[in-house]
Amino acid sequence: MKRIAKKLVFAFDGIEPPDGFLKFLKEEKPGGVILFERNVAGLGHLRKLTAKIHSASPESLIMIDEEGGAKSRLRRGFPNPPDPRKIASEDIHELYRIAGEALAELGIDVDLAPVVDVAPPEHILGDRAFSDDAETCAESAAAAIAGLLSAGIIPCAKHFPGLGSASIDPHIAVSVAEEDADFADKHFIPFRAAIQAGVPAIMTTHLVAKSLDSTGEIATFSRTMIDILRNDLGFSGTILSDDLFMGGAGRFDIVERAFRALSAGHDMVLLCSEIAEPRDFIEALDRRFRNSR
């Protein structure tokens, strides 16, 4: 049970974790807890909240999406960088270092950033991407990662294998790469740079890229895609799934999604909607593994 719990990142609703959730954290010590705007009533409140979570389970990593600009979970009083596309290249390291130091002071362990997808301004990612030029994305990603690492924050590069190639938002439905012959050559460049910069974690997304996995499986459930990240790109850090409650991963119930993502080789999976009985979820997932081939 605890072995599986270490691979799961849970969420909760409201600005205070329910007593049952805190008890669950203390007893099962899951891999992480992810926070959203719905959990934050101000920076002072956030500081107390992270202390409460860490007190219940010091081993659980507290995660947040703090990319800068519009994709920010924290607003008033937080040194939120501008939208990534709008940051001058020479300012990236310093802005992410400042944001990282503020996150660390607030008790955050992991920033699920930066976005390293190669995407134009009109893409579904909008200004969350640094550029539509792969080399610019690579340089920007490396600078952002270095800034966060220097502040003691764990960064996470996303969304592998490259969401900039798709036109469908994976929050809504499965994304399909609009591929050309140089898909990997183009979209892997920033991920290679992130790995070279020492990024400890990479997040996959609910994307079909048939030039990489001819079965048409989404990266979330694709052993082939994880093998590419491990063997071809040489990444030895932690691989996270994107939120398994997204529409793009919705072919199966949530236990089956977690089972398939972990079976594909993910080290941790994100469960960004509240699960009423997380212990029951873990037990069901444990049964699914024991009953599998």
Catalytic residues: 171, 242
DSSP 3-state of 51:
helix
Virtual torsion, Cα 141, 143, 149, 154, nearest 10 deg: -10
E strand or H helix that includes residue 95: helix 92-105
**Token pair of 166 as six digits:** 């798709």
E strand or H helix that includes residue 282: helix 278-291
Pairing of β 71-72 and β 66-68: antiparallel
163 neighbors 128 (Cβ within 8 angstroms): no
DSSP 3-state of 92:
helix
**Token pair of 51 as six digits:** 């202390």
Secondary structure tally for the chain: helices H, strands E: 10, 12
Q: For residue 14, what is the DSSP state?
A: S
Q: For residue 40, what is the DSSP state?
A: -
Which among 36, 17, 15 is positioned nearest to 25, based on CA atoms? Answer: 17
Torsion sign across C-alpha atoms 81, 82, 83, 87:
negative
Q: Which residue is it, tokens 């709008």?
A: 86
